[in-house]
Structure 1
Amino acid sequence: MAKAKSVYVCSQCGYESSKWNGKCPSCGEWNTFEETFPAAARGGFSSKSASRSSRDLSGSIHGIGDVDASFDEIRYKTGLSELDRVLGGGLVKGSLVLLGGEPGIGKSTMLLQICQQLGSEHTILYVSGEESARQIKLRAQRLGVDSENLYLLAETDCEAICDVIIKEKPEIVIIDSIQTMSISSLTSAQGSVTQVRECTNLFMRTAKSEEIPFFIVGHVNKDGAIAGPKVMEHIVDCVLYFEGQRNLSYRILRAVKNRFGSTNEIGVFEMIDKGLAEVDNPSMMLLSGRPTDVSGCCVACIMEGSRPIMAEVQALVTKSGFSVPRRTATGFDYNRMAIIIAVLEKRLGFFFGGLDVYINIVGGLRLDEPAADLSIALALYSSLRDKVVSDKTIAFGEIGLGGELRGISHVSQRISEAQRMGFEKCILPAQALKGINLQSYSMQIIGARSVRDAFNAV
C-alpha cells in the first residue's frame, strides 16, 4: 500500500502546503507549519461522508415565509443584560458562539454564571476537557450556581460528546474548550489546526441539525487572536472577545462577528470575589477618581454601538532627555497621535519637536473613533501650556489635516449623556449642531469650526 502523503498546515491561518515553509505565504508568520495527513488518506471520520450515497433534499426546501422566526421563541435570555446586549438580545437557537480571551480573564466564570439563570427554564450540558466534574462543582459553589438542570460531562472525544448530545437533547451546550477536543480517527494532536477545524465542524452540524445553541471557549495565542485556524471563526455564528488587563478588575466583552446582531455593542463587567458583576454605568466607572486642577486631562465621549461612553484622556508633554523625543500612546492609535501633533505644529504653531509626548486612556479602554481627536488635542494643549481644562468640560470631534473640525454622528446622544453625567460645557464641531435643539439642554454647548476656536473656548 502506498504511503499517505502528508501536508503542512499553518497553525495561525490554516494555509496548506505540500512542503514545510519557514514563513507562511498567507499570514506571514514564522515557524507555524505543522505536519498532518489528509482526512481522505486516513479514512474514518471524513471517509464516511465520501461513501455516503446521495440523498433527495427536495423535502427540506422551505419558503422563507413559512419559517418561524419570532423573537420570543428563538432567543434565550442569559441573565446577564450586558451579555444579551452584545449577543443582539439573547442566545439564538442553533447558534455557535465562540468566546475567546486571555487566560484567567473570566471566560469559564461567565459561562458558569449564566447557567444559574438559563437553568431555571432550560437543560444545560457543560462539557469540560480541562477540569473534572468535582473541580467544576467547587467553582460553581463559589459562584453560587446550584441549578438542578445543569449537567456536567468531563470528556474530550468530540464524536462521543455529539452522540450524547443527540441522545439526551439538552437545550444548551457549553464546550470548554475547543482546543482540548479531539476526534480519534485523526492522527494530529489536540489543539492542532486539523483537530480544531474538524471538531468545530462537527459541533456546527450538531447545533444546526438539533437546533441547540453552543457556547465554545477558545484559547488565544501570544498575539491575542483565537488560537487555531481562521476558518473556525468563519464557521461559528458569533465571535466574542474578552478584553482587559490582569491588574484591572474591569473586563470588556466585544463582538467581532455576529450574524444575529450588531458588532458595535460592548458589555462591561467587573471581576469580584463572586464572579463577574455587570457595570450598568461604565461612564461613571471610567471617570471615577479623576484629578481636579491638573493640566493635561480632558474627557472624551465615544459611541460603542448605541451606547455613549465617557473616557478620561491624559497627556503629558515634557522636556526630552534624549536626542530623539519619545512618543507613547496607550489606548489610542500611535499614528493618529502623530497626525494630531503634526496639525498642532503646522496650523497652530505649537512646538513638540524636542518634547516627549505621552498619551494614556484611563481604565484600559481603547479609543478607535475619530471623535476622540479633539479631546486628545485639548489634553496636549493643556499639558504643553500647563493650562487646566475644567473637569466640567467635555469635548469631541474629528480633526482634519487643515486644522478644521469635522462633523460626527450621534451628537444628541453624546450631549445627553454628558449632561446626565453633570458636565456643564460641551465643545464640539459647529457643523455637528445642525438639527440639534440647543434649548433642550441646560449645559453650555459651543460649536467650534477649527482647533484654534476650540482652544479659545476652554
Structure 2
Amino acid sequence: MAKVKTVFFCQECGYESPKWMGKCPGCQQWNTMVEEKVHKTDRHAGHTGGVRTSNKPISISKIERSSEKRVQTRMAEFNRVLGGGVVPGSLILVGGDPGIGKSTILLQTSDQLADGDFSVLYVSGEESVKQTKMRAERLGIQSDKLYVLAETDIHEIENRIEELDPDFLVIDSIQTIYNRDIASAPGSVSQVRECTGQLMRIAKTKGVATFVIGHVTKDGAIAGPRMLEHMVDAVLYFEGERHHTYRILRAVKNRFGSTNEIGVFEMKETGLTEVVNPSEIFLQERTEGTAGSSVVASLEGTRTVLVEIQALVTPSSFGNPRRMATGIDHNRISLLMAVLEKRVGLLLQNHDAYVNVAGGVRLDEPAVDLAVALSIASSFRDQASLPTDVVIGEVGLTGEVRRVSRIEQRVIEAQKMGFTRAIIPSQNVGGWTFPDGIQVIGVSTVKEAMETVLGGHPSESTKARHHQSNT
C-alpha cells in the first residue's frame, strides 16, 4: 500500500510546504495554506500532463508544419480575441466572476461549432443535463452534434471522449473535476493541477480543442495554482458588471495571437450578441458641455476604442483627500495629480478626486494619461472642453507629453466617429498624412495641452470657489 503523507499547498500560487505557515513565501498572501494528503507514489506523477509524441529528437527543419486551419465561429469578436479562430488541439482557459456569462458564451460557441459539422462534447460539473437543456432552450440551441455530459470524474470523462471522439471539448468548470487517484477534495491545488494536465494531454495527443472554465478569486485572478495559467495555450477573462448589459472578453495570454485583444458583447435574454462598434456604445450616453469629461482613443490589441474618461474634483472635508479610480490604475491618478500640481500650478492637495472610465472598460496603456489629466483639470477649473475633441498622449514626470504608438490608426478612428480635433504629442505630428475632416494639434507639455483644450485662465466662478476654500 502506498504511503500517505500530508503536504500544505498554497491555494493562490501552488507553493507547497511540509508544515503550515500563515504567510505563503511564494505569493506573500496570508491564510492560503491548505493541508492535503498526497500519496508518495503520486509525487512524481506530473508526467500525466506531458505530451509524448516522439522518443528521439527531430531536426526542426524536418518537422512538417500542421496543415490544419483555424476553425471560425459565427462570432467575429470571439474569433478576434483568439487571434483569428480556434486552433485545433489548443487548451483555452476562460475565467470570470460568477454569473458574468462564461457558460453562456461557451454554450453558444459550442452550438455554432456543432452547426459547422463538428462534434462538440460539453461536460458540465455544476449543472445536470436537464438544467443545461433549460439554458440551451433559452438560448435557442438545438444542434444534434452538441453532446452534453454531467460528470466530474476525469477518468469517466476520458472514457466518454474515447467513445465519442469529439472535435471540441468544453469543461464547466475545472474546479469541479477530480481525479479519484488523488486523496484531496475537488478544486484543491493537486486536483486542479492534475486534471488540467490530463486535459492538456488529451488536447495535444488527440487534437481536441478544449475550453476550460475557471472560477476567479476575490482579487479577480484565476482560482487555483498560478501554474494553471502557464499550462494552457490561452487565458481569456470575461469582464463586466452583472448589473450592466455589456461584457468584455479580454485575452491576457495567447500563444496563437495578440495579447490584450478585447471583444465586446451585450447580454440579452436570448444570450450574448457581439458589438461591432464598441466606440459608439461607450460614447452614446456622453453628456456634452459638462466639465470633467474628455475622450481618448485607446488601443486594445489591434483595435482602437474611443472611451470617455470622467473626473470629479471637489474640495475635501477631511485631512487626507480621497483618490478613487474605476477602470484605471489608482496610483497613476495620484501621479498625474502630482504632475498637475507641480508643473501646471493647480492646487489639488486639498481636493478629493474621483476618476471613472465610462462603459466598464479597463484602460492600462500610458496613452490615456493626457486625457485623464485634462479631465481632472477640467473638473477643477469647472470648464468644459469641446465635445468634438479627442486627446491622446503619455505624460512624464516633468510635465512633457510623450510619443505614443500607432497614432495614425487612433486619429482615423476618431475622425470616423465624428471628432473634428485631435490633441496629440508633438513628436507624433510628422511622418504621416492627416485624414480629411479632423484638425491635428501637437502639444509638447501638459500646460500647453490645457491652454489648447481649456484655455489659459479659469472662470470667475472657479476663482470665487478657490478663494472661499483658501479662506
Equivalent AA in structure 2 for residue 12 of structure 1: E
**Alpha-carbon shift at residue 65 of structure 1 (Å):** 4.7
Corresponding residue number in structure 1 for 2:132: 136
Q: How do residues 91-130 of structure 1 correspond to structure 2 at under 5 angstroms?
A: 91-120=86-115, 121-130=117-126
Corresponding residue number in structure 2 for 1:85: 80
**% same residue:** 51
Q: Per the alignment, in what secondary structure is the counterpart of residue 454 of structure 1?
A: helix
Corresponding residue number in structure 2 for 1:328: 324
Q: What's the CA shift string for 1:426-445, capped at 9, x where partnerless?
A: 1111111121213x432111
- Asked if the contact 1:166/1:210 (under 8 Å) is kept, the reply is no
Corresponding residue number in structure 2 for 1:148: 144
Q: 1:2 to 1:416 in 2, by over 3 A?
A: closer
Q: Distance in 2 between matches of 1:118 and 1:456?
A: 54
Q: Distance in 1 between matches of 2:36 and 2:346?
A: 59
Corresponding residue number in structure 2 for 1:409: 405
**How many positions carry a matched residue from both structures?**
449
Q: CA RMSD in A?
A: 2.0
Q: How do residues 55-94 of structure 1 correspond to structure 2 at under 5 angstroms?
A: 57-58=55-56, 61=58, 63-70=60-67, 73-94=68-89
- Asked if the contact 2:177/2:186 (under 8 Å) is kept, the reply is yes
- Asked if the contact 2:53/2:205 (under 8 Å) is kept, the reply is no
Q: How do residues 433-448 of structure 1 correspond to structure 2 at under 5 angstroms?
A: 433-438=429-434, 440-448=435-443
Corresponding residue number in structure 2 for 1:372: 368
Corresponding residue number in structure 1 for 2:468: none
- Asked if the contact 1:124/1:173 (under 8 Å) is kept, the reply is yes
Q: Per the alignment, in what secondary structure is the counterpart of residue 359 of structure 2?
A: helix
**Alpha-carbon shift at residue 221 of structure 1 (Å):** 1.5
Gaps of 5+ in 1: none
- Asked if the contact 1:40/1:47 (under 8 Å) is kept, the reply is no
Q: 1:202 to 1:88 in 2, by over 3 A?
A: same
Q: Per the alignment, in what secondary structure is the counterpart of residue 315 of structure 1?
A: strand
Q: 1:112 to 1:2 in 2, by over 3 A?
A: closer
Equivalent AA in structure 1 for residue 441 of structure 2: I
**Alpha-carbon shift at residue 205 of structure 1 (Å):** 0.7
Residue 262 in 1 paired to residue 287 in 2? no
- Asked if the contact 2:368/2:393 (under 8 Å) is kept, the reply is yes
Equivalent AA in structure 1 for residue 82 of structure 2: L
Equivalent AA in structure 1 for residue 104 of structure 2: T
Q: 1:42 to 1:215 in 2, by over 3 A?
A: closer
**Alpha-carbon shift at residue 9 of structure 1 (Å):** 0.9
Q: Distance in 2 between matches of 1:325 and 1:56?
A: 63
Equivalent AA in structure 2 for residue 69 of structure 1: S
Corresponding residue number in structure 1 for 2:34: 34
1:311 corresponds, among 279, 295, 307, to 307
Equivalent AA in structure 1 for residue 333 of structure 2: M
Residue 381 in 1 paired to residue 377 in 2? yes
Q: Distance in 1 between matches of 2:390 and 2:308?
A: 10
Equivalent AA in structure 1 for residue 161 of structure 2: I
Q: 1:383 to 1:2 in 2, by over 3 A?
A: closer
Q: Per the alignment, in what secondary structure is the counterpart of residue 147 of structure 1?
A: coil
Gaps of 5+ in 2: 454-471
Equivalent AA in structure 1 for residue 64 of structure 2: V
For normalisation by structure 1, the TM-score amounts to 0.94
1:171 corresponds, among 143, 167, 178, to 167
Q: Relative to structure 2, which stretch is displaced further, 73-82 or 245-254?
A: 73-82
Equivalent AA in structure 1 for residue 139 of structure 2: L
Corresponding residue number in structure 1 for 2:418: 422
Q: Per the alignment, in what secondary structure is the counterpart of residue 123 of structure 2?
A: strand
Q: 1:142 to 1:2 in 2, by over 3 A?
A: closer
Q: Per the alignment, in what secondary structure is the counterpart of residue 89 of structure 1?
A: coil
Q: What's the CA shift string for 1:232-286, capped at 9, x where partnerless?
A: 1111111111111112111111111111111121111111111111011110000
Equivalent AA in structure 2 for residue 310 of structure 1: L
1:158 corresponds, among 125, 143, 154, to 154
Equivalent AA in structure 1 for residue 101 of structure 2: G
Q: 1:55 to 1:421 in 2, by over 3 A?
A: closer
Q: Distance in 2 between matches of 1:2 and 1:181?
A: 23
Q: What's the CA shift string for 1:107-151, capped at 9, x where partnerless?
A: 000011012221021000111111111111111111011111011
- Asked if the contact 2:247/2:264 (under 8 Å) is kept, the reply is yes
Equivalent AA in structure 2 for residue 14 of structure 1: G
Q: 1:55 to 1:82 in 2, by over 3 A?
A: closer
Q: What's the CA shift string for 1:63-102, capped at 9, x where partnerless?
A: 55542334xx331112211111111111111110010100
Equivalent AA in structure 2 for residue 5 of structure 1: K
Q: Distance in 2 between matches of 1:358 and 1:57?
A: 60
Residue 252 in 1 paired to residue 248 in 2? yes
Q: Distance in 2 between matches of 1:227 and 1:276?
A: 25
